[in-house]
Amino acid sequence: MDEQSLSESVIQAAIAGDRGALDQLWRQSRRWVGAILLAHKPREADIEDLLQVVAMQVCRKISMVHEPKAFKSWLRTVAINVAREEGRKVNRCKRSMIGLTGMVRIRQNQKDLESGDAIMTDWDESQCVFQAVMSLPLGYREPVLLRCMRSMSYQQIGEVLDLPVTTIETRLARGRKMLKEILAHQDSEHKNLLCSKM
Amino acid sequence: MSTYESNEQSIASSSNDERDILISRIVDGVATNADWMSFRVLADNDPTIWYELADVQRLHDLVFQCVQNELAATDRVELPGGLIDDRPMRVRMEVASRWGGWVAAAIVLVWFFGQSDAPTILNDHDSATAGILGSSILLDQAKPDQAFDQYLSSGQILGQVVGEMPDRVVIETRPMPDGTIEVLYLRQIIERQVIDHAYREVRDEMGNVFSVPVKLSPNIEKLF
């Protein structure tokens, strides 16, 4: 059986309280749930922690899913809510707290910033690509991230996002085009920076 | 803009979309024979489409690698044990209705927390250990409450713990089949640290987070 194709009977069994079925369902879903969290979480949040919260919610509330077909979109909603709640917490903390972390790292960062080297030393291709993906509009970011689950077909992405396959195809194509443009823009800015420092 | 120009733009945009979708399908390995034929026709007229295909393929590989790295930790996350709520919704609703709804549950909670400030009757073992300053009970043998009391006591002696806020914050309540209520809540402890350096986290215009030092001076009454 395809790893991502969750048979309705497994979902039904999980909803009815079958622990084995629920474990199976979770193992098949956790990667794409991680991708959804990645798309929605605040930058500072740890994906493993958030996924753990989603896992708890799944255990507690799976019985509220009325029909197996609604499971994927329900699970996506749970993940989005967890990520947004984390976002609210992060915002509250930022408003009221002083960061006391990482003296050495901070000093080093300050030194780098003063010398203007920070941008150059941090120029890492994969980091840039990831930042570019995260700067895509949400409607494009989610399908691009979900498509990186190797075995997830357009159809399955559509089931998670509750969108028709044609929309998924269009968003993937446009998302990738936007990504190319963002990276090209970043690249030219980086080259300009290098030139100005010479 | 005239209607003609607008139509022209929409046709060009639609044609570009088709070209991008075609490339996307090829990169994703889902292109059909008809897609490949269309690609050949396009490539005959405009060979730059090969460069576009190569760019998108490389981009997809890079994104794939990044996302795999970011999501590597997800494989370690298992469902928590023992928390599954395996009762059908109907049964749980019946249990909830016996309590007369969440208002009743809230009243019970207030009562429950109200009791925590009242003197507690301890059994012999508890009275011998819990809440006694300098208690010599080993932490790995202590009950959670006893360990917590020891933490508060020694923390207050060392000046690290100021105290516990009287209010507990309810996160979730759930009626159980046996008529009891499960309550998840936060206990709020106030701790104290003396520092000689402080940093404030700020964001630059690119959204990057970094820390800037806060000037500490005896004249400053409030730092934030």
Digit-coded pLDDT (tens) for A79-125: 999 999 888 877 666 555 544 444 444 444 555 444 444 444 444 67
Instruction: Judge: A58–B79 Cβ closer than 8 Å, yes or no.
Output: yes
DSSP helix/strand/coil, B33: helix
Query: Do B137 and B185 lie in a common domain?
Result: yes
Q: For residue B180, is it within any domain?
A: yes
Who among A51, A154, A170 is closest to B77 (CB)? A51
> Which residues from B are below 8 Å from A96, CB to CB?
224
A97, A100, A129 ranked by CB distance to B62: nearest: A129
Chains A and B form CB pairs within 8 A to the count of 158
Shared domain for B118 and B163, answered yes or no, is yes
pLDDT at B138: 74
| Same domain assignment for residues B106 and B179 | yes
Question: What confidence tens digit (pLDDT) does each residue in A28-85 have?
Answer: 899 999 999 999 998 888 899 999 999 988 988 898 888 888 899 999 999 999 999 8
Distance in angstroms between the alpha carbons of the first and the last residue of chain A: 58
Scan for tokens 């998670």, then name that residue. Answer: A160
Place of tokens 């690609």: B39
Looking at beta carbons, which residues of chain A come within 8 Å of B201? 94, 97-99
- Which structural domain range is residue B50 located in? 3-75
Average pLDDT over residues A6-22: 86
User: What is the domain count for chain B?
Assistant: 2
- C-alpha atoms less than 13 angstroms from C-alpha of A182 in its C-beta half-sphere: 17
Nearest CA-CA distance, residue A198 and chain B, Å: 23
Closest chain A C-alpha to B204 CA, distance in angstroms = 12
- Report d(CA A127, CA A135) in Å as an integer: 12
Mutation to test the B interface, candidates A93, A98, A151, most B Cβ within 10 Å = A98
pTM over the 0.80 mark = no
Domain A1-97 annotated CATH 3.20.20.210: no
Instruction: Report the residue from B68, B89, B211 with minimal CB separation from A148.
Output: B68
Element (H, E) at B103: helix B102-117
Q: Convert the pLDDT of each residue in B26-74 to its tens digit.
A: 999 999 999 999 999 999 999 999 999 999 999 999 999 888 888 888 8
The 8 Å CB, 24+ separation contacts for A96-103 are A96/B224, A97/B201, A97/B224, A98/B198, A98/B199, A98/B200, A98/B201, A98/B214, A98/B223, A98/B224, A99/B199, A99/B200, A99/B201, A99/B211, A100/B195, A100/B197, A100/B198, A100/B199, A101/B199, A101/B211, A102/B211, A103/B197
Q: Is residue B219 part of a domain?
A: no
CA distance to partner chain B, nearest, from residue A121 (Å): 15
Q: Which residues of A touch B55 (CB under 8 A)?
A: 180
Residue at a domain's end among B33, B50, B75: B75
**Contact (CB<8Å) A22/B84:** yes
Could you give the CA distance from residue B223 to residue B216 in angstroms, rounded to a whole number?
8
* The CATH fold of domain A103-191: Arc Repressor Mutant, subunit A (1.10.10)
Indicate where chain A has its CATH 1.10.10.10 domain(s): 103-191
Cross-chain Cβ contact A129/B25 below 8 Å: no
Per residue in B166-203, pLDDT (tens digit) is 778 888 777 777 778 888 888 888 888 887 777 777 77
What span, in angstroms and rounded, lies between the C-alpha atoms of A134 and A140? 10
pLDDT value for B46: 92
A179–B63 C-beta distance less than 8 A = yes
Residue B67 lies in a domain: yes
- Cβ contact (<8 Å) for B24 and A34? no
pLDDT of A193: 61
Q: Is the ipTM of this complex over 0.95?
A: no
**Predicted local distance difference test score (pLDDT) of residue A184:** 87
User: What band does B135 get if pLDDT is binned at 50, 70 and 90?
Assistant: low
The answer to whether the beta carbons of residues A48 and B77 sit under 8 Å apart is yes
Cross-chain residue pair B71–A47, CB shorter than 8 Å:
yes
| B115 shares a domain with B55 | no
Q: Is residue B194 assigned to a domain? A: no
